[in-house]
Amino acid sequence: MEKPESFDEMWGVSGALREPYRQFNTWFESEDPARLRKKQRDAEELFRLTGITFNVYGKAEAEERLIPFDIIPRIISGSEWFRLSRGIEQRVRAINAFLYDIYHKQEIVRAGRIPEEMISRNEAFLPHMIGMTPPGGVYTHIVGIDLVRTGPGEFFVLEDNARTPSGVSYMLENRETMLQMFPELFSQNRVQPVSNYPTDLRRSLAACAPPACESEPVVAVLTPGIYNSAYFEHAFLADKMGVELVEGHDLRVVDGRVAMRTTRGYKPIDVLYRRVDDEFLDPLNFNPESGLGVPGIMDAYRAGCLTIANAPGTGIADDKAIYSYMPEIVEFYTGERPILQNVQTWRCSEPEALAYVLDNLEELVVKEVHGSGGYGMLIGPTATKTDLAAFRRKLKARPGNYIAQPTLALSTVPIFSRAGLSPRHVDLRPFVLCSPGKVEITPGGLTRVALKKGSLVVNSSQGGGTKDTWVLED
């Protein structure tokens, strides 16, 4: 096995096998490498047949790409997961409280904990939501919290995905694939299940039904269509929940309620799990050129006739500049110190921080405050002189558009390579469901892995892959 340069989740700091991997390692050492190589090929073929793909934007060749999948699971102990779950729940509750506050009295601004311009001048702040309370008081019905690990007990939140977090379908398909490929592993290890997520999602969404709903809530998934990068997931979740997958042209406002077209006429919807960005949601209230949304949907929403999940305006909570204030946000709304810490962050909008970032650019990671998917970012240690020069110009032209963070020594987990087990860097996106008075965290989440040796970029759009994430019963 190659010697890791960072904390290795299988072999630890000293090279001694860590307890969560003990039974797995016994199994692995007894396996024929040729059989495992065949299983890896079988898994890839299964993904291809299932159609587990994503679209990549900005490439001439275009396409749909297969998500690379690695058959070696990432294994987390039950005690480690217990601490993570507490920190995730604390953070998600604080995010919901923050969203309610900024669209109502803005007490956190009045208290001087966040500058007023961070809210009022933020592109993701939605004035249409001022004074509006979503059904059940829930803003973020589905949340993805991106975590990185740097040591045995050291987890950091890399970013919060409060808008339209994606990737849960890959988590579910990864587990299903592993169950098919290696059923014996699950009889030998007490792995907490994830397969009930679609049922939990539908129940959680239904629990957020609006006041106008007087019977069993009707739930639907709103997709931008087949050319969206996450369309597979939209269709997958609608199918697994047993609800309709709709596009904007399938919907209209009828008698004040949003209804979907059926063979028997239009049927009212109570809860709409939307995967369409705010800007395109309602051409009467936002972008008039949008053909993806529904004219008048915001009026039905404000009248209490519809639940939109996640609520419009939640994007401000996953803005990377707001992220830098999350320790203050958690403490302000919970009265507790954050269980999970942020990565140190420099806000380039601040002159002193900008000066530091410009002086140390080759050592830092720089991100757009509204960026996602690994696009628009700079990894200083691997950047060329041309990249660095280009980013200096960008930072000086629009400093408020960027934040910077140190290059962390991300933990590694093994992948199955020609050499056997080889360490690769990973992150983790656990998925959280919120309904009135309840926060549910699926045990595990989506582990994204940088398949290239030494790479820190785990995004699938940038060449990364995924693997099954096991949380063991203690």
pLDDT at 64: 61
Kindly state the tokens that stand for 426.
């990973």
What pLDDT is recorded for position 474? 82
pLDDT of residue 409: 86
310 SS3 class: coil
Structure tokens at 270: 């109570």
Q: Which residues contact 27 (CB under 8 A, 6 or more apart)?
A: 184, 185, 188
Q: What is the pLDDT of residue 49?
A: 81
- Could you give the angle at which helices 33-50 and 168-181 cross, rounded to 10 degrees? 140
Spatial contact of 309 and 295, defined as CB atoms under 8 Å apart: no
Determine the pLDDT at residue 222.
98
- The pLDDT of residue 444 is 95
Distance (Å) of CA 292 to CA 222, 251, 340, 427: 9, 10, 37, 32
Predicted local confidence at residue 374, as pLDDT = 58
Which residues, in sequence order, are CB contacts of 290 under 8 Å at separation 6+? 248, 279, 280, 281, 282, 283
Closest by CA position to 468, among listed 65, 22, 67, 50: 67
pLDDT tens over the chain, length 474 residues: 344 468 999 999 888 999 999 999 999 999 999 999 999 999 988 888 877 665 554 444 445 667 889 999 999 999 999 999 999 999 999 999 999 999 999 999 999 999 999 999 898 999 999 999 999 999 999 999 999 999 998 999 999 999 989 999 999 999 999 999 999 999 999 999 999 999 999 999 999 999 989 899 999 999 999 988 889 999 999 999 999 999 999 999 999 999 999 999 999 999 999 999 999 999 999 999 999 999 999 999 999 999 999 999 999 998 888 999 999 999 999 999 999 999 999 999 999 999 999 999 999 999 988 766 556 789 888 889 999 999 999 999 999 999 999 988 899 999 999 888 999 999 999 999 999 999 999 999 999 999 888 887 787 666 689 999 999 998
- Nearest to 149, CA basis, from 13, 6, 4: 6
- Its CATH architecture, for the domain 344-407, is 2-Layer Sandwich (3.30)
DSSP calls for 123-181 = TT--GGGTT---GGG-S-SEEEEEEEEEETTEEEEEEEE-SS---HHHHHHHHHHHHHH
Would you tell me how many other CB atoms lie within 10 Å of the CB of residue 57? 12
Find residue 260's DSSP bridge partners.
251, 267
| Residue 355 neighbours by CB distance under 10 Å | 12
First to last CA, the chain: 28
Do residues 136 and 208 lie in contact, with contact meaning Cβ atoms separated by under 8 Å? yes
- Neighbour tally for 339: CB within 10 Å: 17
Do the Cβ atoms of 276 and 292 come closer than 8 Å? yes
The span from the CA of 53 to the CA of 326, in Å, is 33
Q: Is 400 helix (H, G, I), strand (E, B) or coil?
A: helix
Question: Is the bond leading into 196 cis (omega within 30 degrees of zero)?
Answer: no
Where exactly are the structural domains of the chain? 1-123+142-192+318-341+418-474, 344-407
User: Hey, what amino acid is at 57?
Assistant: Y
How far apart, in whole angstroms, are the C-alpha atoms of residue 328 and residue 468? Answer: 33
In degrees and rounded to multiples of 5, residue 446 shows phi and psi of -100, 115
Query: What is Dmax (Cα atoms) for the chain?
Result: 67
